[in-house]
Chains A and B, each alone.
Chain A
Amino acid sequence: MAKIELKDIAHSYLKTPVRESDWALKELDQVWVDGGAYALLGPSGCGKTTLLNVMSGLVIPTLGRVSFDGDDVTSRKTEARNIAQVFQFPVIYDTMSVFDNLAFPLRNRNVDEATVRERVHEVAEMLELEGELNTRAQRLTADAKQKISLGRGLVRSDVAAILFDEPLTVIDPQAKWKLRRKLKQIHERYKLTLIYVTHDQAEALTFAHQVVVMNEGQVLQVGTPQELFESPAHRFIGYFIGSPGMNFLPCEPTEVGFSVAGHAIRVSDEIRAKITGREQGLELGVRPEFVRPANGSDQGAFETTIRAVDDLGNYKIVTCLLGDLEIKMKLPEDRAVPEGKCRVVFDPRMIRVYADGRLVS
């Protein structure tokens, strides 16, 4: 186990990167605490896998330093780093038995056979592979194969972290759920550092204590699932996390706060201090979960026109128009929605202000 630090990491797959877009990773600092469970979330092609490969040494970063517990490993080869990685598609050695597959990383490191046997049995027990130890790995199902890939990481008692690169992509939903729970158990039992790449936000939010959101080669926010949900640091995260994404409405600063389409909204003095003097690029962000139809007593409600109601089973999404601005609200299934006009209010505690796409707080 170790603390993994990435210092000023940047990587380009080109020999001579010129433009901004030539960089797969742009200037990145990140510390992975020993024993943490992290999810690395972001759209396809945002640099998640590159970041993972930088840590495992499969990619040597163009710039920056990687260290494990203060020990600089930047130029050290994968084989010499104590790290394990599980890939999107199960990698198994198909001519070997399950036992030999699990023993492979240890035997390569000249561990004595008695220890190998002990470790393999321990890991097999944990992964419920004991009955299949003598079977050829090739004959197993995709989820069992993925367990073997994971097991090859777990047998080594010295790994600094286990990196997962979208490991459940090819697993069917039932087995997916079981494997994910297994991972959680393993994490609780061994206190391993787990870094889990995914583009599936549900997977990230259930698995991790800390979620790292990336886009276009940059880390946009690191936080608990709740923080990401309630206070996205960036417009992108507001859209990317949550379904549907956050509502963003252009606004202008006023004496007491700002106004959206002519409606004044109060904000704290602290935030107002930060936005005074700004004329452009200000937006109000509010999640559809925190928008609701106004009661008679509500002050400062917006007059909107309902454009669409989508019933999604246990909840419904109502799309309202405020002038030509679109506001979505997420309501419980049994909540009645008025026809035509609807006055809506925002939960004042859940209103966020964004300047040029970044959270003002």
Chain B
Amino acid sequence: MDKWEDNRAWWLVVPVFLIVAISAIIPLMTVVNYSVQDIFGPGQRVFVGTEWFKEVLGDRRLHEALWNQFLFSGLVLLIEIPLGVLIALAMPKRGWSASLCLVLLALPLLIPWNVIGTIWIIFTRPDIGLMGVAINGLGLDFDHTAAPLDAWVTVMLMEVWHWTPLVVLLAYAGLRAIPEAYFQAARIDGASAWATFRYIQLPKMRGVLTIAVLLRFMDSFLIYAEPFVLTGGGPGNSTTFLSIHLVKMAVGQFDLGPAAAFSLIYFLIVLLFSWLFYQALQNVGTGNKR
């Protein structure tokens, strides 16, 4: 069959291009626009080049927020992924108890994010909150509005309570998808429970765990509503994460230029780390060297 030059098929790409343009490219370009100009009002703007970028990169409070953010996301991954896998392993495999577990686990995922913050404010209040009163009753002085460590513990607890179920659901689905023959073969080969986990379950969960790590990294790195409601970024700036800092900059102080410049940097960090995690998880244990 002869080939002929006809590129009309490219028109089929137009709808996708339009959707992506409206949903991503145009908003992103607006941010780019703000990041390189100083805008005083309609018709009054000055091109400032990379000045905003230099400013935000040297901002000490932003460094602090960035450090908080990495610490937070790091802890989230270190706690939620192993914990999620552990719970998934311990869950019943079939029957009504399996369904019950799934429903109970899914509950935190259904609650609106700022409601979660409110729930935890009340739950941890030292005067009336169940957890706050209980801890203080043990003789420990616990108040997340006063002590940075208490604030961190509360934020982490809330985050783990809220999002570990997502990891559990993904891991559980991954575990259930492993054909029974693998477990039978492992028994015949005399594998211990640990060996079965290490050589069958963990490798077979690679796909779902990649998704879990990426989702939990991105979501935790972009977290805003729950800690904002719970601690407002305090005490001091101890639980100020990047989004909270960014909103303060953009909406609180109306510094649109630095905020836009920082948004772009923020976006690139998330993109870079997601890519790194993805590559690492795709290659771990496959013997591929990169």
Contacts and interface: CB of A to CB of B under 8 A. Distances in A.
B188 A104 contact: no
Contacts of A109: 190
A108 B190 CA distance: 6
A67 B286 CA distance: 42
A87 B195 CA distance: 20
Interface residues of B, number: 18
Contact of B187 (A79, A94, A97, A104): A79
A138 interface: yes
Contacts of A93: 199-200, 203
B71 interface: no
Interface residues of A, number: 28
Interface in A94-125: 94-97, 104-105, 108-109
Main secondary structure of the interface of A (DSSP, over half): mixed
B189 A152 contact: yes
B179 A79 contact: no
A356 to B, nearest CB: 39
B199 A78 contact: no
A236 interface: no
A53, A91, A108 pick with most chain B CB within 10 angstroms: A91
Nearest to B191: A108
A328 to B, nearest CB: 39
A104 B189 contact: yes
B285 A95 contact: yes
A138 B286 contact: yes
A312 B203 CA distance: 49
B192 interface: yes
B14 interface: no
A77 interface: yes
Contacts of B285: 95
A56 interface: yes
B182 interface: yes
Interface of A: 53, 56-58, 77-79, 83-85, 87-89, 91, 93-97, 104-105, 108-109, 136, 138, 149, 152-153
Smallest CB-CB A-B distances: 8 pairs: A91-B185, A108-B190, A105-B189, A78-B187, A87-B181, A95-B285, A93-B199, A95-B203
7 contacts: A57-B187, A58-B188, A77-B187, A91-B184, A95-B199, A105-B189, A108-B189
